[in-house]
Chains A and B, each alone.
Chain A
Amino acid sequence: MTVVDLDDRDAQDTVVGRPRYVLDQHIEGELHAKIVRSPHPHARLDGVDPTRALATPGVVAVLTGADVSGDASINATFGRQRSDQPILAVGTLRYAGEPVALVVAESIEAAEAGREGVGIECRALPHVVDAEAAGAPDAPQLHAAWAGNGCGEWKLRYGDPEQGWREADRVFEGTYWSPPASHVPMEPHVCLAAWEDGRLSVWTSTQAPHRVRDDLAAVFRLAPEAVRVQTRDLGGAFGAKGQTTIEPMAAVAARRLGRPIRLELDRDEVFLTIGKHAASVRLATGVATDGRLLVRRVQVVYNAGAYALTSPLAAGQGLLRAPGPYRIPHVEAHVLARYTNTVPSGPFRGAMTSQLAFAYESQMDEIASSLGIDPVALRRRNLLKDGDQYATGEHLHQLHFGELLEDAARAVEWGTPCAPAPPGRVRGKGVAVMIKTTLTPSRSVARVELAADGSITVRSSSVEMGQGSRAALTRIVAQALGVQEARVSVPHPDTDRTPFDSSTSSSRTTSSMGTACVRAVDDLRCQLTERAAAELGVPAESLAHRDGAIGPQGGGARITYEHLLALGDPPLVGEGLFESHGGLPAMDPLDVRGFSTVHWHQGAAAAEVEVDCETGRVTVLRCHGSAYAGRVVNAHRVRQQNQGSVVFALGQTLMEELVYDEGRVVNANLAEYMIPSIQDVPELTSTAIESSDLEAEPHGVGEMALPAVAPAVANAVFHASGARIRCLPLTPERVLRCLRENARADGGSGG
């Protein structure tokens, strides 16, 4: 029986359908836009014929790439790391589903009808879907500026790998594959854009209002202040809304037509807008016979898709996380991202890390099995401990991998046999651990306003997307200020009113924006103390805050916060800044070393599974997620984040894959792209490992258990059945094939 926190306003609102999303938003006089998409994975674009579309009743205009590139006041491409993505395609089509034209009409229906009438004249070119193949000398090239389809390359060398290979008693090698996948937020991407007096105003379903603001300002060559971006609660995001995607299209059309534009993606278009990086991870590990890891070589190829988005730098994030949470004296790592003719890849909950953890944690169990060492014991022997040096050369602190491992193992009663399975079925358990960096450098600013009526408003650009950021910031501010949570409100982000934030991503909000909020409260309290000191005629140092009031430290008459503001006074505003420096941008990509991240994200998972030996179907009986949380702000929310991580990850573990055939996505719908249903959710448990230091910073918990889930399940499948699957998802067919091969091999050797 789950106990629901009845003080949870957000949960109650969501259950009764109260929140209004950008999807619910309309602007008077709006026109509706629909996107015409490329039918080809790679083609020369000769022309777009809008004649029939323009003859469709209700259609107002058809915009093409030529319209955009022909306008000297607009940058026709966008992209923060590489400005390689055209607002609408010009000259070349680089993936099936790429926006080619925008049909604008008085109604959605008219825009849809018009979309059918747009002709695309093009000549097909050879295409490449696989990122390994995209590196071949004769592979189709996507971008003239980026030879070899390179979209990021990072290298690291630590210790003396040659020595390590010489010393190793055994070497284990394997290649582990994670397919492209999709975020599947319930709310599709949706954007409304309007211009007034040379100022652009946008409503969009985004995780990063300031990023969108800056990108749009760059497109239109405006000062950032000339663009206003507002958002509301998101109906899910998971990384899909962390980048600028459809906003430039809507804004260009709004400017050209002089009317507000509303652009809402259909479900299939969400699949064609942004996805998860497919990755192949080649991993070689040299070990001593006693199980010590001595040396590791990891080579990763991420599939960036047709446009860079965050891939060049994200590949480096992958590199930082690729060695795994182990003490390994010698490491060599090489991480690439390559362009291919596929849907652009971007951040995806557990970004860049799930692919890696699947590799190193699967291999960990392979090593354990081969050496005859218990998988938990093998990890225990090798996990990073406080103060250990990591492959980046840093000494890491606040490490809790040991506790996470023991917790995960305990959760599935590691060492105790599984209950007997029904005939024809077998059961097994598995564990896995993961390490991740957070966005560094980054910046968050918060303002906390106290009004004369005693109400407190938190101005923050952190986006509520179901993760509970509003509840977390409310609690942080209420506790820091010593007032009831009911007095605190957190309005939606609005770049005209809420201060700068890098983005709501990378599990950083509670930690980064939370810190900014605490500092804003400190600032506000200082101002209140000064006022109170003046009012009472005593020195500020003699005063103390308690329960929303200030008075002499020793006791005596106190004065409430609201009394310090006369009615009609403007609110008193405290401001706080969180800022981190360093990280990847300060490093040499081909010789990575140094300070990587403000926090090391640490997580673990454990699973017990049942495998049907006749069909290969894997049923996860129970699954546990653990995260290191630093100081817990809201235990219930942390539990939900851990459980959400597990359920989300089980999708990619067991069933999710974006399937391409001849360069086109063939399952861009929810009948063929499967996500877990409520009936697929196993018995869930979770743990938040807390710091013993009561003053510890909160750590993000949004994705810590997630990357460990797939290898924990894969290891449990191996433990149960002997089937070692190195390709995700763990489909019944893959498991059955492996069981059959194993049976044949056994038959051969035994016969």
Chain B
Amino acid sequence: MLETCALLRSNRDARLIAGGTAVVLMLRQRLIDPSLLIGLRRVPGLDSITAASQWLSIGAAVTLQQVADSDRVRALAPSLAAACQEVGNVRVRNRATLGGNLAEADYASDPPAVLASLGAVVCTAAPEGGGRRIPVSDLITDYYTTQLTSDEVVLRVEVPLIDGRRSAYVKYRSRSSEDRPCVGVAASLVPDPQGWVASLEVVVGAVTSTPQRMTTATEGVVGARHDEARAGAVAAAVAAAIHPIADGRGSAWYRTQVIEVMVRRALAMVVA
């Protein structure tokens, strides 16, 4: 790993490549022209999924299909397994890695919103002990842009484990079944002992440059019973708070309509 970081430091325009689903596309579209590609396949320690009492840890080079198929992930972070199962098609999922997915920071992607809703943290390595822990909700700063420095490498993603948490991810595609999301909504609800809402996270992906973590819109339900009327109010507040982009998957107007619908559907899933 240190060798990888050193290579990155001495070759400023080098690119890391794991599954290659993003890097190869960019190369073929001539969007990047790196002098060096550094393969992560043989770097040890990036390919395991482990769980401790408080954290579920997923190596950066674990493929999205491995995440989706993992019994641990399905039990401890079901919305993450569901989101990874929805990415592209099986050929893409068998190559693409979770670390690569986050580092690419494609705005129209499924896993980042879910990881943000679960309070996940990215652990990195960098030369001279410069490794960090970055909350996923802070990692992506703009289209295809992250906080990661040019010699920093994602090691793993840690998902905090909370008793009783219920999570869901709803992906809405407006075109082919293999399309990226037009709207993606991740919801994570922790009930209190009465079954009322202790905390609620709603993160909306694919509608702006970065996943949108909706804190104000969900405030009203904390400490209250989670019901259909409150979910509807949250959904309306979320839709009103986001100024979505327009692209080939839908206009801003259309996305606003769909955000409200999908937030409602995601909330219905976490209450059940």
Contacts of B248 on A, CB cut-off 8 Å?
A: 659, 667, 672
Report the stretch among B47-55, B65-73, B213-221, B249-257 that lies at the interface: B249-257
When the two chains form their complex, are residues A677 and B89 in contact, meaning their CB atoms are under 8 A apart? yes
B177 in complex: contacting residue of A659, A667, A679, CB < 8 Å: A679
- Whether A674 touches B179, Cβ cut-off 8 Å, given contacts A731-B174, A732-B174, is yes
* Chain B interface size range: 10 to 19
Q: Is the interface of B mostly helix, strand, loop or mixed?
A: loop
Interface of A is mostly: loop
| Residues on the B chain within 8 Å of A669, using CB | 29
Contact status B254-A680, CB under 8 Å = no
A655 within 8 A of B: yes
Contacting B at CB under 8 A, from A21-77, are none
Which A residue sits closest to B255, measured CB to CB? A733
Cβ-neighbour of B176 out of A614, A615, A674, A732 (below 8 A)? A674
What is the distance, in angstroms, from B232's C-beta to the closest C-beta of chain A? 12
Chain A residues within an 8 Å CB radius of B174: 615, 617, 731-733
Chain A CB within 8 A of B196 CB: no
Q: Which B218-263 residues sit within 8 Å CB-CB of chain A?
A: 248, 250-251, 254, 257-258, 261
A736 CB-CB contact with B under 8 Å: yes
Instruction: Name which residue of chain A comes closest to B264, CB basis.
Output: A614
Hey, which chain A residues are within 8 Å of B258, CB to CB? 615
Asked if B254 and A736 make an inter-chain contact with CB atoms under 8 angstroms apart, the answer reads: yes
Q: Are B179 and A615 in contact (CB under 8 A)?
A: no
Closest to A268 in B: B29
Residue in B178, B251, B257 whose beta carbon sits within 8 Å of that of A679 in the complex: B178
Q: Is A675's beta carbon under 8 Å from chain B?
A: yes
Q: Which residues 149-190 in B have Cβ within 8 Å of A in the complex?
A: 172, 174-180
- CB neighbours of B251 from chain A (8 A): 733
B89 to A, closest residue via Cβ: A677
Q: Enumerate A647-666 residues with CB–CB distance to B below 8 Å.
A: 654-655, 659
Bound Cα distance A667, B247 (Å): 11
Q: List, in ascending order, chain A residues with CB within 8 A of B254's CB.
A: 732-733, 736
Min C-beta distance of A504 to chain B, whole Å: 29
- For A667, list chain B residues within 8 Å (CB): 248
Query: By the criterion CB–CB under 8 Å, are A677 and B29 in contact?
Result: no
Instruction: Tell me the chain B residues, 59-98 only, with Cβ under 8 Å from chain A.
Output: 89
Answer yes or no: A119 CB below 8 A from chain B CBs: no
Q: Any chain B CB within 8 A of the CB of A224? A: no
How far, in whole Å, are A732 and B176 apart by their CA atoms in the complex?
12
Separation of A614 and B258 alpha carbons in the complex (Å) = 8
A548 within 8 A of B: no
Q: Across the interface, which residues of A come within 8 angstroms of B175, CB to CB? A: 654-655, 674, 731
- How far is A671 from B176 in the complex, measured between Cα atoms in Å? 10
Chain A residues lying within 8 Å of B177, measured Cβ to Cβ, are 676-677, 679-680
Bound CA–CA A424/B50 (angstroms): 40
Among A718-751, those with CB < 8 Å from B are: 731-733, 736
Partner of B261, one of A615, A679, A680: A615
Q: Are A680's CB and B29's CB within 8 A? A: no
Minimum distance in angstroms from A351 CB to a CB of chain B: 24
Give chain A residues whose Cβ lies under 8 Å from the Cβ of B257.
Answer: 614-615, 736
Question: CA A36 – CA B174 in complex, angstroms?
Answer: 34
Q: Of B176, B180, B250, which is within 8 A of A675 by CB?
A: B176
A655 touches B176 (CB 8 A): yes
Residues on B with beta carbons closer than 8 Å to the beta carbon of A731 = 174-175
What residue in chain A is nearest B176 (Cβ atoms)? A674
Give the CA-CA distance A731 to B175 in the complex, in Å.
8
Which residues of A in the span 610-656 have a Cβ within 8 Å of any Cβ on B?
614-615, 617, 654-655
CB-based contact B178/A615 at 8 Å? no
Residues of A588-621 contacting chain B, CB below 8 A = 614-615, 617
Query: Which residue from chain A places its CB closest to the CB of B29 in the assembled complex?
Result: A669
A614 nearest CB neighbor, chain B only: B261
Distance between B1 CB and nearest chain A CB, rounded to angstroms: 32
Nearest chain B residue, comparing its CB with the CB of A112: B30
**CB contact list, B7-32 vs A, under 8 A:** 25, 29
Tell me, in angstroms, the Cα distance from A736 to B172 when the chains sit together.
14
In the complex, residue of chain A having the shortest beta-carbon distance to the beta carbon of B180? A671
Per the bound structure, the CA–CA distance linking A347 and B258 in Å amounts to 37
**Residue numbers in B under 8 Å from A617 (CB-CB):** 172, 174
Task: Determine the chain B residues whose CB is within 8 A of the CB of A736 once the complex forms.
Answer: 254, 257
Q: How far is the CA of A655 from the CA of B179 in the complex (A)?
A: 11
A-chain residues with CB within 8 Å of residue B250 when the two chains form the complex: 732-733
The CA-CA distance from A674 to B180 in the complex, in Å, is 11
Instruction: Known A669-B29, A672-B248, A733-B254; judge A615-B89 contact (CB<8 A).
Output: no
| Nearest chain A CB to B266 CB, angstrom units | 13
Bound-state Cα–Cα, A709 to B248, Å: 24
Chain B residues with CB under 8 A of A677: 89, 176-178
Give Cα distance in the complex from A674 to B248, angstroms: 10
CB–CB A615/B29 < 8 A: no
Complex Cα–Cα for A447 and B268 (A): 69
Shortest A117–chain B CB gap in Å is 14
What separation, in Å, do the CA atoms of A494 and B175 have in the docked complex?
A: 41
Residues of chain B contacted by A675 (CB below 8 angstroms): 176
What residues of A have a CB within 8 angstroms of the CB of B178 in the complex?
A: 677, 679
Complex Cα–Cα for A493 and B189 (A)? 65
Q: How far is the CA of A30 from the CA of B250 in the complex (A)?
A: 46
The contact of B172 among A615, A676, A679, by CB within 8 Å, is: A615
Interface centre among B25, B29, B172, B257, by most chain A C-beta atoms within 10 angstroms, is: B257
Complex Cα distance, B29 from A671, in Å, reads 11
CB distance from A426 to the nearest CB of B (A): 15
Query: How distant is B207 from chain A, measured CB to nearest CB, in Å?
Result: 14
Cα distance A614–B251 in the bound complex, in angstroms: 16
For B260, give the chain A residue with the smallest CB separation.
A614
Q: How far is the CB of A733 from chain B (nearest CB, A)?
A: 4
Bound-complex Cα distance A667 to B175 (A):
14
Q: Which residue of A lies closest to B179 (CB)?
A: A674
Smallest Cβ distance from A199 to chain B, in angstroms? 37
Alpha-carbon distance between A655 and B174 when the two chains are bound, in angstroms: 9
B180 to chain A, nearest CB (A): 8
Closest chain B residue to A677, Cβ basis? B178
Alpha-carbon separation in the docked complex, A674 to B177 (Å): 10
B residues within 8 A CB of A676? 176-177
Least CB distance from A141 to B in Å reads 31
Q: Tell me the smallest distance from the CB of A694 to a CB of chain B, in Å.
A: 43
Chain B CB within 10 A, most for which of A671, A672, A731, A733: A733
Bound together, the chains give a CA A283 to CA B29 distance in angstroms of 43
Q: Nearest Cβ in chain B — how far from A721, in angstroms?
A: 15
Q: How far is the CA of A36 from the CA of B251 in the complex (A)?
A: 33
A732 to B248, CA, bound (A): 12
Q: Which residues of B contact A672 (CB under 8 A)?
A: 248
Distance between A684 CB and nearest chain B CB, rounded to angstroms: 15
Say how far A333's CB is from chain B's closest CB, in angstroms. Answer: 34
> Measured between C-beta atoms, what is the minimum distance from A744 to chain B in Å?
14
> B residues within 8 A CB of A679?
89, 177-178
CA distance A669 to B178 in the complex (A): 14
Residues of B near A732 (CB, < 8 A) are 174, 250, 254
B25 surroundings in chain A (CB, below 8 A): 671
Determine which residue in B25, B172, B177, B180 has the highest number of CB atoms from chain A within 10 A of its CB, and name it. B177
Give, as a whole number of angstroms, the nearest-CB distance from A100 to chain B. Answer: 18
Inter-chain CA distance A730–B269, complex, in Å, is 29
Q: Bound state CA distance, A615 and B179, in angstroms?
A: 16
In the complex, how many angstroms separate the beta carbon of A194 from the nearest chain B beta carbon? 29
Q: What CA separation (Å) do A669 and B175 show in the bound complex? A: 15
**A325 CA to B201 CA in the complex, in Å?**
57
A-B residue pairs, 5 tightest by C-beta: A679-B177, A677-B178, A674-B175, A733-B254, A674-B176
User: Told that A677-B177, A733-B174 touch, could you supply 10 new A-B pairs with CB distance under 8 A?
Assistant: A615-B257, A617-B172, A655-B176, A669-B29, A671-B25, A676-B177, A679-B178, A680-B177, A731-B174, A732-B174
What are 22 A-B contacts with C-beta separation under 8 Å? A614-B257, A615-B174, A617-B174, A654-B175, A655-B176, A669-B29, A671-B25, A671-B180, A672-B248, A674-B175, A674-B179, A676-B177, A677-B89, A677-B178, A679-B178, A680-B176, A680-B177, A731-B174, A732-B174, A733-B251, A733-B254, A736-B257
